[in-house]
Amino acid sequence: MSSFQIFDIAGSGMNAQNLRLNVVASNLANVDAVSSSLQDTYRARQPVFHAIYDQVNRRNPAVGVRMAGVVESQAPLVREYAPNHALADDEGYIYRPNVNVVEEMANMISASRAYQNNVEVLNATRQMLSATINLGR
């Protein structure tokens, strides 16, 4: 593997974790959203990633990660009886998202640490390349 390819791999990892943090932020921003119907209620979203492979180089095939898409959670929505709420349906119910705040905070911490790890990989690689250049002096 080329030393410079490490920058591409770590950069794609940082990009993936940035996208993951954006999805977490979207989920947390909508945790208190209220709707009058099941169809209009926000559903928690989760990113899906896949590895990028180098088809030419079979010895070192992995070259990064990419976001394949975002899927909505299939967990049930919260149905709450609130007949005096302005968005209550005909039966007096409002609907809340299926966002689990504890799970989202854990995802946020995990994504943040993965991002930091990729930054450390970049810094370590940069320092090694700099030390290699200085050996020739």
Distance CA 25, CA 27 (A): 5
Q: Convert the pLDDT of each residue in 81-103 to its tens digit.
A: 999 999 999 999 999 999 999 99
Residue 9: count other Cβ atoms within 10 Å of its Cβ: 19
Q: Convert the pLDDT of each residue in 31-86 to its tens digit.
A: 999 999 889 999 999 999 998 887 666 666 777 889 999 999 999 999 999 999 99
Q: Does the pLDDT at position 105 exceed 70? A: yes
| Domains: count for the chain | 1
Contact 98, 38 (CB under 8 A): no
Distance CA 104, CA 109 (A): 9
In the prediction, which pLDDT does 2 show? Answer: 67
DSSP 97: -
* Residue 51 belongs to domain spanning: 3-135
